[in-house]
Structure 1
Amino acid sequence: MSDRDDFSELIGSARNVTKCSSFYFNGRIRYGTKGEKVEERFLCMNAFRVYICSIKIPVKIESQFNILSIKLIDRTSDSHVIIETEEKQVHSLYSLHDKASIQPFLLILIRNLHAVFPHRLQAIVEIRPENEYDKLLRLSNEYYEDILNGIRPCGGFSVRYECACDLYQSSCHKYVQNLIDNVFAHRVSREFTFREFESLTQKDWLPIIHALRHNEWFTKLTIENTKLSSENIDELCTVTRLCETIKDLRLVNCGLTKDFGTRFGHCLSVTCVENLDLSNNTLEDKGLINLSSSLQQRKLPLRSINLQSCSITHKSLQAFHTTLMNNTCLLKNLQTLNLSGNRIKEENCITILFSNNDNMLEELHLSDVEFSLESTSHGSKQIFDIIFNKISP
């Protein structure tokens, strides 16, 4: 059997074990294993995943990673590249021969990454040397046809979703992609809603949420009346931390508890969200206190906050309002605050809002609270919306 026949058999075996009908790249390389040992391996890649396989037939997958997990690409020489992933794994790839180049693999890898992140790749993946990215992208444009060329609906969300499905090894639902490309893309509001995906499991939601991490299209994210899994809550926190375009975040009646205050608090100080709706979640005092602590460090404005029916009391509102008073950026920009449906028994935690002339509040919703609003409404002209209150005699 010739070398060509051997290589064809190797490719066939690799396709079988990886369940890939075709590869974007395949070839023999040398791969750094334990210590400084370097051994021959078979490297192959489809649109979203890289495989390092044995060279013995039947082929076995020894290592693999999704391109979304790549954090660093370091081209140390023409024949050597180091790839680091989120899992803190280091993949050291060498060309099969010292005089050969590993550039063909790099060109395709950069091309695939650029297809997923056409405008933000350099901000997501560190590429060394610093001038290497432009060079590799130019060469890849020259050698490989861009099958995704042109403007893609919703900034290419469907491609990122499909890649995220591969990352989580979950099913890619074509109707999700069709809905995004043909319905969501025509929304003037650029709102991403999840009510259309209620038939899917929480596990199926995970890659959808992940695909919003580096979104540049949608400006509003809404999830209502669905209890979110812990994993999806964590992913939402990551999305709000990384995404710069989502300004409105509505998580209404999503089963969020006091622990959410701590988890979401880590990103609240840096998120670009300006309108936050957490209504009808049992955040309780502990949750609001944790959120308030994070707000102290926030340097970006918040326009509106909805905490209606969040099981909070005057105890946590004292901490929340103190944070507002001490953060001039928040105080000067907050226009709407909804505290309706909470067990607020002391009015001083409301009147404190109006003791500072920097206060720009235009709407304060206080329906269904537990203290008399007569003195508050008379003394604070900026309270414009106090309706359906249980005012004590």
Structure 2
Amino acid sequence: MAKASVELTRELQDSIRRCLSQGAVLQQHRVKLETKPKKFEDRVLALTSWRLHLFPLKVPAKVESSFNVLEIRAFNTLSQNQILVETERGMVSMRLPSAESVDQVTRHVSSALSKVCPGPGCLIRRGNVDTPEGPRDTSPNSETSTSTTHSVCGGFSETYAALCDYNGLHCREEVQWDVDTIYHAEDNREFNLLDFSHLESRDLALMVAALAYNQWFTKLYCKDLRLGSEVLEQVLHTLSKSGSLEELVLDNAGLKTYSREVTRSLAGPKLLPCSEGL
């Protein structure tokens, strides 16, 4: 059941849950949002698995703004129970009702990020960002953080779901089921795009994008399936970011236009054996 701060009526809490019916509401907190310099207004902060939502204190509930955890560039907890979040779109500053609420929100964000990507990502800090000694790093990769052990297949399904939310696209449960059940049971480290050839190009692109953060899969395979430009662009991105992919096989996949870019991606310190039919 979602955790809710005091002073939130049951009617408002239920209205927020109905508004966010596509995802379970894990926490609700009444906060003071800084709408202008030194001007704070009442809002409700609602947390789902991969997104933070802000609501006015009105029924029926309507989302005023939201952002995915992957949009967060820095997350600072300050004095007076204040949180300062730097996102891709700007800064969000809010005061929570208690230190416990701050801790709950911080742990949620840290846990979500650790599920999505094991590598360096958002930096979560505690303390005054202006102090000379600097705040304490509690990012998912620091020794002081609470890092969640990845689930089956390196947490691919969690990363895929978070990327779907980030891009505003439907998360296909059949993709998660195939990976969590079939790939896991067979201890299969080769991600075969042919297994998902019935899906649209944008769905394939998100799967490839998820591999950039994954440490389970070591091979990406596709043969006799012409991949769209958005998929091939994600292949390039994944090659540049992945620390675990060791082999790439794209045979007759429409790679000709991108052959130079792929060659450059493979020319880094870690060379991936590549079999490609243009």
TM-score (norm 2): 0.81
- The equivalent residue for 1:212 is 211
Instruction: Name 2:163's counterpart in structure 1.
Output: 164
SS of residue matched to 2:33: strand
Q: How does 1:16-35 map onto structure 2 within 5 Å?
A: 16-20=18-22, 22-35=24-37
Task: Give runs of aligned pairs for residues 261-340 of structure 1, distance below 5 A.
Answer: 261=259, 263-264=261-262, 267-270=265-268, 272-280=270-278
Deviation at 1:234, TM superposition (A): 2.1
| Deviation string, structure 1 residues 181-211 (Cα, Å, up to 9, x no partner) | 2222355662111111011111221321221
Partner of 2:177: 178
Q: When the two structures are aligned, how many residues end up with a matched partner? A: 263
Q: 162-171 or 128-137, which moves further after superposition?
A: 128-137
Residues 1:90 and 1:265: Cα distance change in structure 2 (over 3 Å): farther
**Which amino acid letter does the alignment assign opposite residue 10 of structure 1?**
L
Aligned positions of 1:141-152 closer than 5 A: 152=151
**Residues 46 and 266 (structure 1 numbering): CA distance in 2 closer, same or farther, change over 3 Å?**
farther
Report whether the alignment pairs 1:106 with 2:106. yes
Q: Measure, in 2, the Cα distance between the counterparts of 1:151 and 1:245.
A: 15
Indicate how the Cα distance of structure 1 residues 167 and 197 shifts in structure 2: closer, same or farther if over 3 A, else same. same
CA distance in 2 between partners of 1:78 and 1:225 (Å): 59
SS in 1 for 2:9: helix
In structure 1, C-alpha distance between the alignment counterparts of 2:10 and 2:189, rounded to whole Å? 48
Structure 2 CA distance for aligned equivalents of residues 26 and 5 of structure 1: 11
Match of 2:93 in 1: 92
Does the residue aligned with 1:156 lie in a helix, a strand or coil?
helix
Letter in 2 for 1:207: L
Question: 1:265: how far off?
Answer: 6.1
The residue type paired with residue 106 of structure 2 is L
Measure, in 2, the Cα distance between the counterparts of 1:4 and 1:279.
61
What SS does the corresponding residue of 1:278 show, helix, strand or coil?
strand
**RMSD, matched Cα:** 2.9
Partner residue, 2:124: 127
Helix, strand or coil for the counterpart of 2:243?
coil
TM-score normalized by the length of structure 1: 0.59
Give the letter for the 1:131 counterpart.
Answer: D
Unaligned runs of 5+ in 1: 142-148, 281-393
- Residues 270 and 74 of structure 1: is their aligned pair in 2 closer, same or farther, counting only changes over 3 Å? farther
Q: Is the 8 A contact 2:28 2:45 kept in 1?
A: yes
The AA in structure 2 aligned to 1:7 is T
Q: Provide, for residues 134-165 of structure 1, a one-character-per-residue CA deviation record: whole Å limited to 9, x for no partner.
A: 68745xx9xxxxxxx76622111122122222
Q: Secondary structure at the match of 1:61?
A: coil
Could you tell me how far apart the structure 1 residues matched to 2:218 and 2:150 are? 18
1:67-114: per-residue Cα shift (whole Å, max 9, x none)? 1222221223351222223x34322222247x8852221122222323
User: Hey, what does 1:155 align to over in structure 2?
Assistant: 154
Any idea what SS the aligned residue of 1:165 has? helix
The offset of 1:14, in angstroms, is: 1.4
Match for 2:274: what amino acid?
L
Q: Unaligned stretches of 5+ in structure 2?
A: 126-134
In the alignment, the residues of structure 1 paired with residue 138 and residue 71 of structure 2 have an alpha-carbon distance, to the nearest angstrom, of 20
Measure how far apart 1:221 and its partner are: 0.6
**AA paired with 1:28?**
R
Q: 1:208 to 1:197 in 2, by over 3 A?
A: same
Q: CA deviation at 1:54?
A: 1.4
Match of residue 195 from structure 2: 196
1:272 is paired with a residue whose SS is: coil
Does the Cα contact within 8 Å between 2:77 and 2:102 map onto a contact in 1?
A: no
Structure 2 CA distance, aligned partners of 1:194 and 1:101? Answer: 43
Look up the match of 1:329: none
Contact 1:240–1:273 (8 Å) recurs in 2: no
Between structures 1 and 2, the one with greater helix share: 1
The structure richer in strand per residue is 2
Q: Distance in 2 between matches of 1:136 and 1:46?
A: 24
Which structure has the larger Rg? 1
Instruction: Note the C-alpha offset of 1:50.
Output: 1.0
- Compared CA separation, residues 271 and 185, structure 1 to 2 (3 A): farther
**1:369 — aligned with what?**
none
